[in-house]
Amino acid sequence: METAISAEGLRKRYGDHQALNGIDLEVPAGSILGVLGPNGAGKTTTVRILTTLLTPDEGRATVAGFDLATQQKQIRANVGLTGQYAAVDERLTGRENLQLIGTLLRLGRRGARARADELLEKFDLTAAAGRMAKTYSGGMRRRLDLAASLVAAPPVLFLDEPTTGLDLTSRLALWGMIKEQVHNGVTVLLTTQYLEEADQLADSIVVIDKGLVIADGTPDELKRKVGGERLEVTVATDADLAAATRVLAELSSGEPTVDQETRTVSVPMGGGVSTIAAAALGLERLGIEPQDFAVRRSSLDDVFLALTGQPGAAPATEPTPAGDPAQPKEMQAA
Amino acid sequence: MTEVFSDTFALAGRQMRHIRRMPEQLLGITVMPVAFVLVFGYLFGSAMQVPGQGGYKEYIMAGIFAQVMLANLTTTAVGVVEDLNNGLVDRFRALPISRSSVLLGRTVADLVLVSWTSAVMALVGYLIGWRAHNGVLQTLAGFGLLLLMGFVMSWVGALVGLSLRSPEAVSALAGVVMMPLAFLSNAFVPPQGLPGWMRVIVEWNPVSAVVSAARDLFGNERGESSGAFPSEHPVLAAVLVLAALLAVVIPLAGRAYQRAAAKR
């Protein structure tokens, strides 16, 4: 398969801080690569290097078939970039923002106008096209920002935390728009702190921490790597929690993980249905009525926690030791 | 080369659109200078003794023009910081456009705005009795020189903004630097009456050279020359110092742009 983005041994140092420590990446054309990592892991630095905004100290890369060291201008003509904050001109209208980009891309007056209208329509901004961007909601700004990065119809798109700070509806809308781009053959490199986002969108994922790729694979591969399914029980009282923990501990070879706050205990599942049956029986014998009884596949949160020692999404101020019962956001039966 | 021109034009046009969106902005940038003209012309003018027949109103206009050009530093610096901090500089840098056009677009747009301000000030000055006596060409040359100063200060502002990256730092520094530059010059007070040491500072302050040159070109009295070079040949001195500054500050600002955009 054709490769749209490839990077080899990217290194970048700021003063005495080694931001990138040798990043390798490979993104097949027409796919989405999710780059996961905590704050300061080097996600943004990687994006800025690959979009020619930063020069790496070491390493090579090609983007959209052009060499990063010698063909920067061609790369800029063939990539779109949506940065961490919506980079729109607040004092221009939505349409003017897109027209400006179009003019700078030499689409001509009429061409820029037509392209702007087309994108406004696609991103559901036509009604607000004549309003100044500073009156836009967060979600609208992000959509305008994404539209601005697509004016040139670039074959490669870089999205640096595109949905940070958005509400769920806006996030879902943006996801849909990103998926549509990929459907049309665009290659996307997406950084995110939201594991769910990577899970939803990415064909493959690299996890980076402290400037290094520490894991890569498809979302499923990564989840399998960290350990299949877990049986999870939530109870009503602290006394029940202790009892339930004892019951589950006997059934599994793995250590039970206990969250006192939500009164939830979970263990790795070994024996499939028989484990579930035994657990149910054990709880019933002790007269414990679980509030929640579920089999859950590892989420990317678990992967993230196991790999980096930090929970995803909300970055911890102190590193949490691996195996600490950081509460995943989603708690559903698989 | 045509690329630089069209990109600069598009980016400067972006700022012109800001004005079209919010015309009150235009009012905002014009009110202060006009207030200066009125306050200095009427309030201080009644108590000031200046050389020549024109009185303080004639004396002060070149000085206020120069002060407005000096303030162009802040205008550009604040704008550059804003673009840098809201990610627009990144957006532009990720496009296949000429890299110099981002700063050029801003300084050219700020030049257009300060030209507008000057035109309004000139009109108000005319209404309260300021006159240029040397004919159209020399008068235009006077404005040309002042606007060149505005353009140079704009580039200094770009350098300052790119280096400081914070609007608060910019206004703090601008206050500290611009106050002495404006007041330790012959912009508002004739140097003839100053104590000796201060007179030397005032004579060699580049702002004085521009102000003297503008007064000469407008045909407004500025008193007798002190014999110092900028006072003897103000137009030459002003052009030299502005050209030298521009030659130094454009490459520095260009480098600061590459570096500032690479941070973070």
DSSP calls for A97-134 = HHHHHHHHTT-HHHHHHHHHHHHHHHTT-GGGTTSBGG
Token output for B184: 């330790």
Give me the mean pLDDT over the B194-200 stretch. Answer: 89
Q: Which residues of B9-41 are buried (b: 16+ CB within 10 A; e: fewer)?
A: ebbbbbbebbbebeeeebeebbeebbebbeebb
pLDDT at B26: 83
Q: Are A241 and A209 in contact (CB under 8 A)?
A: no
Nearest residue of chain A to residue B90 (CA atoms):
A53
Mean pLDDT over each residue of chain B, to the nearest integer:
90
Residue A157 has pLDDT above 80, yes or no: yes
pLDDT at A334: 33
Residues 6+ apart with CB under 8 A from B168: none
Residue A85: which of B11, B87, B94 has the nearest Cβ? B87
Residue B7: which of A86, A88, A104 has the nearest Cβ? A104
Place of tokens 């002495």: B180
Residue B175 has pLDDT above 70, yes or no: yes
Residue B253 has pLDDT above 90, yes or no: yes
Half-sphere exposure at residue B31, Cβ-oriented, CA atoms within 13 angstroms: 6
Residue A212 has pLDDT above 70, yes or no: yes
pLDDT at A328: 38
Nearest residue of chain A to residue B99 (CA atoms):
A73
Cα B33 to Cα B139: distance, rounded to the nearest angstrom = 20
Residue A314 has pLDDT above 70, yes or no: no
Residue A195 has pLDDT above 70, yes or no: yes
pLDDT at A227: 61
- Chain A: closest CA distance from residue B158 (Å): 19
Give me the mean pLDDT over the A44-54 stretch. Answer: 93
From chain A, pick out residues whose CB is under 8 angstroms from the CB of B21. Answer: 91-93, 132
Give me the mean pLDDT over the B34-48 stretch. Answer: 85
Looking at the DSSP assignment, which residues form a beta bridge with residue A265?
A233, A258
Residue A283 has pLDDT above 50, yes or no: yes
Token output for B75: 């205008």
Residue A84 has pLDDT above 90, yes or no: no
User: Tens digits of per-residue pLDDT, A100-119?
Assistant: 999 999 999 999 999 999 99
Looking at the DSSP assignment, which residues form a beta bridge with residue A13?
A18
β-bridge pairing A229-234 and A264-268: antiparallel
The length of chain A in residues reads: 334
For residue B37, the Cα-to-chain-centroid distance in whole angstroms is 16
Give me the mean pLDDT over the B64-77 stretch. Answer: 94
Maximum Cα–Cα distance across chain B: 58
- Chain A: closest CA distance from residue B104 (Å): 14
Cα B161 to Cα B177: distance, rounded to the nearest angstrom = 14
Residue A310 has pLDDT above 70, yes or no: no
Q: Of A199 and A27, which is predicted with more confidence?
A: A27
pLDDT band at residue B262 using 50, 70 and 90 as cut-offs: low
Residues 6+ apart with CB under 8 A from A287: none
pLDDT at A155: 96
Residues of A with CB under 8 A from a CB of B: 44, 48, 51-55, 73-74, 76-77, 79-81, 83-93, 96, 100-101, 103-106, 132, 148-149, 152
Contact state of B88 with A87 under an 8 Å Cβ cutoff:
yes
The candidate with the shortest Cα–Cα distance to B93, out of B162, B157, B156, is B162
Residue A15 has pLDDT above 90, yes or no: no
Of A241-255, B134-148, B168-182, which one has max mean pLDDT?
B134-148
Determine the Cα angle at B167 with ends B166 and B169, to 5°.
65
For residue A327, the Cα-to-chain-centroid distance in whole angstroms is 18
Position B156: which residue type? V
User: By three-state DSSP, how is residue B194 classified?
Assistant: coil
Instruction: State pTM to two decimals.
Output: 0.81
Which stretches of chain A are assigned E, i.e. beta strand?
Answer: 3-14, 17-28, 32-36, 58-63, 66-67, 79-82, 156-160, 187-192, 204-209, 212-217, 229-234, 257-259, 264-268, 292-297
Residue B100 has pLDDT above 50, yes or no: yes
Nearest residue of chain B to residue A132 (CA atoms):
B21
pLDDT at A226: 65
Mean pLDDT over each residue of chain A, to the nearest integer:
86
Residue B161 has pLDDT above 90, yes or no: yes
pLDDT at B127: 92
Cα B106 to Cα B120: distance, rounded to the nearest angstrom = 21
Maximum Cα–Cα distance across chain A: 77
ipTM value for the complex: 0.87
Cα B138 to Cα B76: distance, rounded to the nearest angstrom = 28
From chain A, pick out residues whose CB is under 8 angstroms from the CB of B87. Answer: 83-87
Out of A204-218, A263-277, B90-104, which region has the weakest mean confidence (pLDDT)? Answer: A263-277
User: By three-state DSSP, how is residue A289 classified?
Assistant: coil
pLDDT band at residue A56 using 50, 70 and 90 as cut-offs: very high
pLDDT at A246: 87
Give me the mean pLDDT over the B229-234 stretch. Answer: 90
Cα B206 to Cα B185: distance, rounded to the nearest angstrom = 8
Helix segments in A132-236, DSSP class H: 138-149, 168-183, 195-201, 219-226
pLDDT at B263: 62
Residue A87: which of B21, B87, B96 has the nearest Cβ? B87
Share of chain A above pLDDT 70, in %: 90
Looking at the DSSP assignment, which residues form a beta bridge with residue A8?
A60
Cα A142 to Cα A178: distance, rounded to the nearest angstrom = 12
- Chain A: closest CA distance from residue B20 (Å): 10
Looking at the DSSP assignment, which residues form a beta bridge with residue A28?
A3
Give me the mean pLDDT over the B134-146 stretch. Answer: 96
Residue A37 has pLDDT above 50, yes or no: yes
Cβ neighbours around A224 below 10 Å, total:
14
Contact state of B262 with A73 under an 8 Å Cβ cutoff:
no
Helix segments in chain B, DSSP class H: 2-21, 24-38, 55-85, 88-93, 101-127, 135-164, 167-183, 196-204, 206-218, 229-232, 234-262
Give me the torsion for CA of B71, B77, B83, B89, rounded to 10°: 130
Residue B10: which of A77, A89, A103 has the nearest Cβ? A103
In degrees and rounded to multiples of 5, residue A12 shows phi and psi of -150, 135
Place of tokens 């054309």: A29
pLDDT band at residue A135 using 50, 70 and 90 as cut-offs: very high
Residue A91: which of B22, B91, B97 has the nearest Cβ? B22
The candidate with the shortest Cα–Cα distance to A171, out of A37, A327, A47, A313, is A313
Place of tokens 């004396």: B59
From chain A, pick out residues whose CB is under 8 angstroms from the CB of B104. Answer: none
Place of tokens 């979600």: A139
Q: Are A323 and A230 in contact (CB under 8 A)?
A: no
Residue B96: which of A44, A77, A87 has the nearest Cβ? A77
Place of tokens 């990564």: A222
Residue B172 has pLDDT above 80, yes or no: yes
Nearest residue of chain A to residue B4 (CA atoms):
A104
Place of tokens 């002003």: B238
Cβ neighbours around B162 below 10 Å, total:
25
Residues of B with CB under 8 A from a CB of A: 6-7, 10-11, 13-14, 17-18, 21-22, 86-88, 90-97, 261-262, 264
Token output for A86: 């919506």
Cα A76 to Cα A52: distance, rounded to the nearest angstrom = 7
Q: Are A150 and A123 in contact (CB under 8 A)?
A: no
Share of chain B above pLDDT 90, in %: 63
Task: Name the helix (H) or strand (E) containing A318.
Answer: none
Residue B17: which of A81, A83, A96 has the nearest Cβ? A96
The candidate with the shortest Cα–Cα distance to B234, out of B145, B135, B105, B126, is B145
Residue A131 has pLDDT above 70, yes or no: yes
Place of tokens 């399998």: A224
Of A89, A115, A146, A158, which to mutate for an interface test with B (greatest number of B Cβ within 10 Å)?
A89
pLDDT at A312: 54
- Chain B: closest CA distance from residue A212 (Å): 18
Out of A26-30, A275-279, B9-13, B94-98, which region has the weakest mean confidence (pLDDT)? Answer: A275-279
Token output for A325: 């019962």
